[in-house]
Structure formats: C-alpha cells, structure tokens
Amino acid sequence: MATTVPSTETAPLNPRSRVITASLVGTTIEFYDFYAYATAAVLVFPILFFPTGNDTTSLLASFAVFGAAMIARPIGAVVFGHFGDRFGRKATLVASLLTMGIATFLIGCLPTFQQIGWWAALMLLVLRLAQGFALGGEWSGAALVATENAPAGKRAWYGTFPQVGAPLGFIIANTVFLAINWLLPHPDGTGQRSQAFLEWGWRVPFLFSAVMVIIGLWVRLRLVESETFVKAEEKGALTRFPLGTVIRLHWKHLILGTFIMLATYVLFYLMTNFTLSYGTKPADLAAASAAAQAAAEANGSSFDATAFAAQFYPGLGFGYTDFVVMQIIGVVFFGIFTLLSGPLADRIGRRRLLLWVTGAIIVFGLTFTVFLLPQADPKFTGALTQAFLVIGFMLMGASFGPMGAVLPELFPTNVRYSGSAISYNVSSILGAALAPLVAVWLWQLGDGNPWLVGIYLSAMSVLTFIALLLAPETKNIDYDDNLGLGETASL
C-alpha cells in the first residue's frame, strides 16, 4: 500500500488576499477620514469655525488645527507602537481604525461657530487630535501586516498596498465632496460652493465614514498574527518597554527614518492642501473682493474692501469643482506610481530608487513658477496646472511607495512597530504639520508668486537626500534573523 508523505510546506497564517485586503482597506478608510478633514479645512472650516473677518487669518487658523493632528500622531505612534510590539499587530490595527472612525463621524455632528461660538473650534480641535492620534498607529501596523507576511523578495511590493490607501482615500473623499456639492442647488453656478453645502452638505462625507469603518473592522478582525511576530514572542525577543529599547539602541535609525520621510510629506501636503488653496483663490483683486464680500454677507458680517485689498494675494482662479477634478486626475498617477515603485525597489534596492526620486523632487521644486503662474490664455493655465499636478503626484507615488518597506526594515521585529511609527509620525510634524502654514506664509511673502514655496520643497528634499546617503540599503534584510534577540528583554 502506497503511503502518503505529508507536505513540508504549510499554508501561510494569513493568505495573500487577506493580507492585501486588510492592509489596503484599512489605510484607505483611515486616509479617507484624514482627507475629508483636509478638504473641509480649505472649503468650509475657515467660514464655519474660524470666521475672523480676515480671509488669510481664517485659512491659517484652519490649517493650524489641521496641523495639530500631526503633533498628536507621534503620541499615537508611541502608544500604539508599545502595544503593537508587546502584544501583536492585530488589536492595535482594530483600535486605531475605531478611534479614527468615531472621531470623523463626530466631526460631522459638530455645531458651528454661528451656533456655539469658539467652543465649536475647540471641539473640532479635540476631534482633530483624536484623528491624528489614530493615524499615528494606523500606518505602521498596516505596513507591518503587509511586509511581515510578504513572500521572499517581494517585501517592497507588498509594502505598497497600505501606501495605495493614501491615493484611494483621497479620491474617494474628494469624489464624495464633489458629488454632494454637485447634487445641491447652485444659484451662482456649479463651480462655486452652494449655501446648502456650507449649511449641511459638508457633513455627509464625515458621517459616511461610519459605513466604511464597519467594512474595515470586518476585514481586520479576520487577521492572525504574522509568523515573524509569533517567532519573536516564542524566542523571548519581545521587550516590556519598546520605546526605551528603540531610543537606546536604534536612535540613529529613528533620525534617519524621520528625514527619509520628510520630502514625501512636504510634497504631498503641498500638492493637496496648498494647491487647493492656491488653485481656487481668485486671480485678480476684483474677483477676490466680490467673493470675500459674498462670504461676509453670508455670515452676517461687515466687509472692508480697503482692508481686504491690503491683505489680498492672488491664485489661479479655478472653481472648486474644476480644480478638485484636476487633483483627482493627478492622484490617479499617484496610485499607479505607488504600485510601480514596489517591484522596482525590490529589484534595484530601496535606497537607490529613492535617491533618484528625491533628486527629481529637488528639481521639481525649482519649477513652480514655470507651471503655477496665470497665463494670458486660460487654456495654457489649465494645461500647465494639470501637468504640474500629474508630475508632482507621480513623484509622490514613486517616493511614498517604498516607504512601506523602508521604514519597517530599519528596525528589528521586537521594536519594528514603535520604530517605524515614530519615524513616520515625527516626520509628519516637520513635514505635514508645517508645510501648509509655511506655504501660505511664503505665498504671501512672494506677493502671490509661489516660487518660494517651491524653494521650500527643494530645501526639505535636500535633507531627505542627505539622510538617504547616510542610510543603509535594507533590501536584503531577513526578518527572521532580525527579531531583536540579544537586546535586553527586561526593559
């Protein structure tokens, strides 16, 4: 009688489809929530929560609250990183998704300044901090689920799936905003925000996030821990205080990881927040004055044309709908190049690819005046702006894609969650939190010419280029041989 020899190969703990779906769906939902706020921070929050009477001051106040979430992100990174390194990735991913979803839903329920005064702004700030806290733990957990379950030689490819959540979340959030805005009545034309949109339409994208969160939770609750983490736990490599271990033994990689991510953050928030402000700002004083007067009348406040003229700085003059569609076209290229960057990073190495891409971002920053100045013919302005968005988002995808592998690979398994999360989110303070504020200030300083904003992007990219030169190539690191054994487990 023939005997059957059992196969030595075992099925992975998490099937490929489950890994890809869990890492992609979760980050898509989290970034949807985050970008819903980013869009509202430009379109409605300056009017509804920060009506200072000065257009620039209101926008800066809205961006300041937007940036406040970046300060909360490192705190979330420490908290979620601690539990992720101590007890596993799954529970932290579920907790971060719930926190983000609840905060986003509650933003959609907030009263405005016209109803309760500055308490509205304070409540918005608290919920924005909760969003940042949640996102501080989300990205690293999703990246670890993807890379710790990746087949040999495909870690950067798998690491791009949580990264694709960023462009998908952006597209979905802005498409929902566009759809709501389009469906509502527009007495002044479909290119402008309607009164109904300002009154209640903006709430719908935030409330809709509850449906997406339920789907994400269903997917993530089906995950099991990765073999890499289980092996580290079985061999006693886990540490009781991951934060202390990563700071004491891996501080150099924390610093390098922070600056490796810097150019990516600055580029993305310039391509989304700043360009939306600049693109939809009227190109001439008369149009700007008329728009500001209409907004003042809608809020029941007085309008001083002389004072407005003194603080006016021009933009490109696109309608909101037109410009967001242009952004979405650019973000499609963001998603494509994010996916393409993974196999390329697996083939030629993460460091080599990122050096080339960062060099291209430095050059791109020097071209802002080529693309972003109004032309005599509006058709040329539209074509140049669309080309600017496509090129910028292509570079964003090529830079952001490999980060899902690069940052986790800098750290051993027992502090991988903490190390990658802290690097990623401290960089958000230096890049994402400051970028919109610095960009608006430089835009004003240049009297409406964005050339200084481009110089700022190039300067930050030079810092990333230097960090990449100092960083090791992590392509061939074996996770199973890098569990953190030998690092004091009693910490």
What's the pLDDT tens digit per position in 408-434?
A: 999 998 999 999 999 998 998 888 777
Summarize the confidence of residues 377-406 as an average pLDDT: 92
Region for residue 440 given its phi and psi (left: phi exceeds 0; alpha: psi -120 to 50; beta: otherwise): alpha
What's the pLDDT tens digit per position in 41-100?
A: 777 888 888 887 667 677 778 877 877 777 888 899 999 999 989 888 888 888 888 888
Q: And the tokens for 29?
A: 């939902």
Q: List the single range of 38-52, 160-174, 190-204 with lowest mean pLDDT.
A: 190-204
Q: How many residues does the chain have?
A: 491
Summarize the confidence of residues 433-438 as an average pLDDT: 79
Q: What angle do CA 43, 370, 280 make, to 5 degrees?
A: 15
Q: List the single range of 2-11, 24-33, 248-257, 412-421 with lowest mean pLDDT.
A: 2-11
Residue 211: exposure state from Cβ atoms within 10 A (0-12, 13-18, ≥19): exposed
Distance CA 131, CA 73 (A): 8
Predicted local distance difference test score (pLDDT) of residue 2? 42
Distance CA 9, CA 414 (A): 26
Q: List the single range of 140-144, 355-359, 440-444 with lowest mean pLDDT.
A: 440-444
Which of 424, 49, 483 is CA-nearest to residue 260?
424
> Which pLDDT band, with edges at 50, 70 and 90, does 486 fall under?
low
- Sequence-distant (6+) residues with CB within 8 A of 23 are 142, 143, 145, 146, 158, 161, 162, 165
Q: List the single range of 175-189, 211-225, 284-298 with lowest mean pLDDT.
A: 284-298
Which of 179, 166, 185 is CA-nearest to residue 208?
179
Predicted local distance difference test score (pLDDT) of residue 332? 94
What's the pLDDT tens digit per position in 181-196?
A: 777 765 555 444 567 7
Q: And the tokens for 109?
A: 């329920």
Most confident residue range from 221-230, 319-328, 460-469:
460-469
Instruction: Please give the domain boundaries of the chain with CATH numbers for all domains.
Output: 16-281+316-472 (1.20.1250.20)
- Sequence-distant (6+) residues with CB within 8 A of 60 are 437, 440
Predicted local distance difference test score (pLDDT) of residue 301? 61
- Sequence-distant (6+) residues with CB within 8 A of 486 are none
Backbone angles phi, psi at 346, to 5 degrees: -65, -30
Predicted local distance difference test score (pLDDT) of residue 193? 55
Q: In whole angstroms, how far apart are CA 413 and each of 89, 142, 419, 482?
A: 11, 14, 10, 6
Distance CA 428, CA 199 (A): 32
What does DSSP assign to residue 429? I
Q: Which residue has the tokens 């509650």?
A: 106
Q: Examine the pLDDT at 477 and tell me if it is beyond 80.
A: yes
Q: What is the dihedral of CA 469, 268, 162, 483, to 10 degrees?
A: 30
